[in-house]
Structures are given as C-alpha cells and as structure tokens.
Amino acid sequence: MTIRPANPHSKIERDMLALGMTAMVRAWVTKAGMERYDCAFFGGATVADAVDHYTRTIRKAVRVSVGRADVIDLMTGEARVVEIGEVR
C-alpha cells in the first residue's frame, strides 16, 4: 500500500509537496518594532528535518520573536505545536 498525501489546504503546502518536501513548519514571527506577526514557512524531507531547519534559522535570526510554530506532516495532514524545548 502506498501513502497518499493529505489534501493540501494552501498553496504553500502544494508547493512544498511539489518540491519533494513532506513536512513543514509554519511559524508566526515578528521583529522588534512591528505591530503584527507574519507567517514564515520552513520545509524539510521529514518532520525532524523541518524542525531542524526552523530551529537553525530562528537561532541565527536577530531580534526575531516567535508567537507560535506548528510542524505539519504533509503526507498525513497531522500537525502539532513545536515545543520550546525543541528549539535549541
């Protein structure tokens, strides 16, 4: 039996699947002085790769604050919040 991708809900999810990524992190980020959050996306071949890409990028970012980050498995549609302990 083959795994079928879940129905992608947005254009970015379809684009990630088209590029061969099966997981992504959707993070709501803001910089100092901004009054709103913007959505940032980080992809990976696996859930662990996507979380690793997200953590490495956020760690290098200057004055960026994350409101919430969710990791989404694009093959199953399963989503969960990235815990603070996962960000090294």
What pLDDT, on the 0 to 100 scale, is given for residue 61?
85
The number of folded domains in the chain is 1
Q: Considering only CA atoms, which of 44, 53, 40, 38 is closest in space to residue 73?
A: 44
pTM of the model: 0.80
Q: 34-57 pLDDT, tens per residue? A: 888 999 999 999 999 999 999 999
Structural domain contains residue 72: yes
And the tokens for 7?
């129905």
Structural domain contains residue 87: no
Phi-psi region of 79 (alpha: psi -120 to 50; beta: other; left: phi over 0): beta
- Give the whole-angstrom CA distance, residue 38 versus residue 28: 6
Structural domain contains residue 2: no
Residue 2, pLDDT above cutoff 80:
no
Backbone angles phi, psi at 85, to 5 degrees: -65, -20
Range of the domain at 51: 11-80
Structural domain contains residue 3: no
